[in-house]
Structure 1
Amino acid sequence: MPGFELIGQEERDALNALMDEGGVFFAHGFDAKRKRYHVRELESDFREFLSCHDALCVSSGTAAIKVALKSLGVGFGDEVITQGFNFIADFEAIIDCGATPVVAGSDDTLNMDPAQLEGLITDKTKAIMPVHMLGVPARLDEIFAIAARHNIPVIEDACEAIGAKYNGRYAGTLGAAGVFSFDYGKAITTGEGGLVILNDEKMAVTARQYHDHGHMNLPDIPRGLDRAGVAGFNYRMSELNAVVGKVQLKKLDYIVAESGKRYKALDQGITSGVYKKRAVPEGAEPAYDTYIVEVADAQIREHAIQLLGDMGFGTKNLPDAMNWHCSVFWDHMGFDTKTQAQLDTLALLERQIAIPVMLGKPVEDFAELAVALNGLTG
């Protein structure tokens, strides 16, 4: 989660340059007042970096989810299978499309349990949306195999996993669609912003039109005379966000590499049997922004949480933001939140501690933290 830690002179210079070249903050039109189209350039940068078919910049990760769902035609009466350990945005987007979320529990990766997936598929299932929570990819081989048997598209929610890989490819680029978030707490940030990855040309066209009030952006036609291809909405990214994003993307490899050193210091240093380490699927490489352990002993868990606070690390989402990351708490959204899979997910999450990996702390501090955690007893 260190994107905001590295905001500095480069981002300031990029914003000042935007002002000097005309100060157009809008991503479309105003050709005579501007020299560049930064949102389009950022999309091109992401296509190259991620080696994907199409990349569409949008206003937030939540918007990215909604646009991806719309590109698949998700609507009233449909069902979308996702997971109980999540962020509330996935459920908000599904419900906002008029569809119903169907919730799978988690396996030892804390992501979607493929063993539960097939039993949740019905003739109403329009999409399957695994979420790569806190930097670790889900078991995509099994999920894709089940989806393929039923001819159901997969949307990867990689909002918390930019930079993670699965079988050598970037998480978020393997499904029919993928989504990323660049809010202020993500590995790279544009302040607010998101990205939609589309691997089908028809979906890509629909998404691009939908996020821009339906604009077809027909060539050689002024924007005011343009036509609408679909009923759309406004989920556009601004040029302000894009210029920051272009700078931050150049820092991503460094961020992942340096985060990895700190993550591995914990992984190698925590040796006490009271901690069960989060599973990482074979062939997966995390984004390394969060390290999670399970602690069955409630007293040791409380002591560990206190230790993290005392040493200046704190926790990330588990346990400090459970209400926003577990579907059991979302009764206000009008779906059944108390299925056994969701209750089991809550019980699993209540045993976890998520340690944020920050670049502001040297690797040695994470090694010292591991030693301190090993010393805790009931």
Structure 2
Amino acid sequence: MPGPGFEFLGDEERRNVEQVLANWSLTRYLFDDPEEHSFVRRLERDVEALFRSGPAIAVNSGTSALATALAGLGIGPGDEVIVPGYTYVASIGSIGHFGATPVLAEVDETLTLDPEDVERRITPRTRAVMAVHMLGAPCDLERLREVTDRHGILLIEDAAQACGGSYRGARLGTVGDAGAYSFNPFKVITCGEGGMALFRDRKAYARGFAYQDQGWPPLRDNNGVGTGEATFGLNLRMPELSAAVACAQLQRVDAVLAGTRRVRDRLVELIELHEGMRQRPLNDADGDCASVVVHTFDSADQAREVAVKLSTKPLVDSGRHYYGNMPQLKGNTSIRYQRGDLPRTDDLLSRSVAVSVGVSDAHLGSGFGVGVHSTEEDVARAAEAFNSAVRSAVTA
């Protein structure tokens, strides 16, 4: 299975879909019926209530959620947005699509954005920092928020891989000025394709809503409070069928995370630690989505040998989640980066190997491991395979 939410698809999702099909209510705008009955609107309200967030906007993908967040915050040409070099390409691409400049920064041992390097890269043109909760693990939001507040810039959370996770009790995606989730099949919960943007400020929410719905004010209420701005927008709306599945999945998010954390804890118990390797530190272990377990080795050669024995790869070879593997950054573009520009990120990823707990994705470097419903025997076999590969690599 690709992601943990996928393994929880069941009768509730099916019933919701059948309800949509029974009425052919395929869009959130239900003609003569009030929009309050739509699954899309229900999903937005459920996210706001469950995550105690500001206003939410359901869209058709995680990438659209990032774009909606950026539009709502007014990011545009001439602005710089600091983003880690270890993220999915959509984080960087969404910034570039608004004519803003992505400024790539290093990650630290947690494999999330390094607050110290972020501060070094702030210029008079910096408008925002995009904190990516990579591999389901929370960034150091306290330090990042302190940096952004001190410099008067915005904080955006890319929580595409971390829906339901938390940092010191606050759900990821709700701490910054805007947040974004993805619901594709490889994520914590899924509806096939879909995403969600969250906002702290209602004017930013109104701008974001207009961006994803052809310039309409929130909920298409011309009598409501809009931005006071006439704007063009796109059509990035989430379809009702996707929302029907997502509504059921959202109610399972804590059960999904309880499952990944249970399997993660047992896997960690069974993995032997040797000199020359360590488990990735976490900024908030309780809030980690536990979709992978990462170990970092002292030697890149050891990490590669372990990965090869497990038929996977070190994180530096993961697909378009590492800036050095993004051809968009190497071509004829004003945004140019190549491997070597972020030496600490390069080094850490070359020495790190991920074991899947709930997300099985070769492009993410998590092609080996177990699932959220794996048995004790499954977990024990995976741990022993990892232990055997490590013993061979570190004693060679």
User: Structure 1 length as normaliser, TM-score?
Assistant: 0.90
Q: Partner of 1:19 in structure 2?
A: 21
Q: Partner of 1:138 in structure 2?
A: 139
Matches within 5 A, 1:232-311: 232-270=233-271, 271-282=273-284, 285-298=287-300, 300-309=302-311
Q: Give yes or no for contact 2:127–2:153 (8 Å, CA) kept in 1.
A: yes
What amino acid sits opposite 2:378 in the alignment?
D
Q: Give yes or no for contact 1:86–1:325 (8 Å, CA) kept in 2.
A: yes
Change (3 A) 1:246 1:373: same
Distance 1:339 1:349 in 2: 12
Deviation readout 1:216-249 (Å, 9 max, x if unpaired): 255488xxxxx98422111110001000001111
- Counterpart pick for 1:326 among 322, 326, 331: 322
Q: Partner of 1:110 in structure 2?
A: 111
Q: Are 2:78 and 1:77 equivalent residues in the alignment?
A: yes
What amino acid sits opposite 1:18 in the alignment?
V
Q: Partner of 1:350 in structure 2?
A: 350
Distance 2:142 2:257 in 1: 23
Unaligned runs of 5+ in 2: 358-370
RMSD: 2.3
What amino acid sits opposite 2:306 in the alignment?
A
Q: Partner of 2:98 in structure 1?
A: 97
What amino acid sits opposite 1:325 in the alignment?
H
Q: Partner of 2:372 in structure 1?
A: 359
What amino acid sits opposite 1:266 in the alignment?
L
Distance 1:283 1:374 in 2: 23
Q: Partner of 2:383 in structure 1?
A: 370
What amino acid sits opposite 1:281 in the alignment?
N
Q: Give yes or no for contact 2:55–2:198 (8 Å, CA) kept in 1.
A: yes
Q: Which moved more, 1:257-266 or 1:329-338?
A: 329-338
Name the % identity.
33
Q: Which moved more, 1:148-157 or 1:211-220?
A: 211-220
Distance 2:268 2:291 in 1: 13
Distance 2:34 2:132 in 1: 41
Q: Give yes or no for contact 1:60–1:194 (8 Å, CA) kept in 2.
A: yes
User: Residue 284 of structure 1: CA displacement?
Assistant: 5.3
Distance 1:247 1:268 in 2: 32
Distance 2:345 2:316 in 1: 13
What amino acid sits opposite 2:315 in the alignment?
L
Query: SS of the residue aligned with 2:246?
Result: helix
What amino acid sits opposite 1:324 in the alignment?
R
Matches within 5 A, 1:168-183: 168-183=169-184
Q: Give yes or no for contact 1:263–1:288 (8 Å, CA) kept in 2.
A: yes
Distance 1:220 1:114 in 2: 42
What amino acid sits opposite 1:169 in the alignment?
A
Deviation readout 1:269-328 (Å, 9 max, x if unpaired): 22223432111015752011111111334554344324434xxxx57x8366x2301112
Distance 1:116 1:265 in 2: 34
Q: Give yes or no for contact 2:78–2:100 (8 Å, CA) kept in 1.
A: yes
What amino acid sits opposite 2:266 in the alignment?
A
Q: Which moved more, 1:349-358 or 1:329-338?
A: 329-338
Q: Partner of 1:40 in structure 2?
A: 41
Distance 1:228 1:168 in 2: 36
User: Residue 159 of structure 1: CA displacement?
Assistant: 0.5
Change (3 A) 1:284 1:78: farther
Change (3 A) 1:147 1:35: closer
Change (3 A) 1:175 1:72: same
Deviation readout 1:47-85 (Å, 9 max, x if unpaired): 111011211101100001111111111111110001000
Matches within 5 A, 1:195-234: 195-216=196-217, 217-219=219-221, 229-234=230-235
Q: Which moved more, 1:202-211 or 1:11-20?
A: 11-20
User: Residue 6 of structure 1: CA displacement?
Assistant: 1.9
Distance 1:356 1:334 in 2: 36
Q: Give yes or no for contact 2:304–2:351 (8 Å, CA) kept in 1.
A: no
User: Residue 13 of structure 1: CA displacement?
Assistant: 2.1
Deviation readout 1:308-359 (Å, 9 max, x if unpaired): 34xxxx57x8366x23011123313541313855243123212111111122
Query: SS of the residue aligned with 1:76?
Result: coil
User: Residue 10 of structure 1: CA displacement?
Assistant: 2.5
Distance 2:191 2:80 in 1: 32
Q: Give yes or no for contact 1:137–1:284 (8 Å, CA) kept in 2.
A: no
Count how many residue pairs are aligned between Structure 1 and Structure 2. 366
Distance 1:126 1:70 in 2: 13
Q: Which moved more, 1:10-19 or 1:72-81?
A: 10-19
Change (3 A) 1:220 1:195: closer
Distance 1:28 1:307 in 2: 52
Query: SS of the residue aligned with 1:323?
Result: coil
Distance 2:18 2:30 in 1: 20
Distance 1:167 1:341 in 2: 33
Distance 1:267 1:246 in 2: 32
Query: SS of the residue aligned with 1:324?
Result: coil
Change (3 A) 1:34 1:282: closer
Query: SS of the residue aligned with 1:255?
Result: helix
Q: Give yes or no for contact 1:136–1:284 (8 Å, CA) kept in 2.
A: no
Q: Partner of 2:362 in structure 1?
A: none
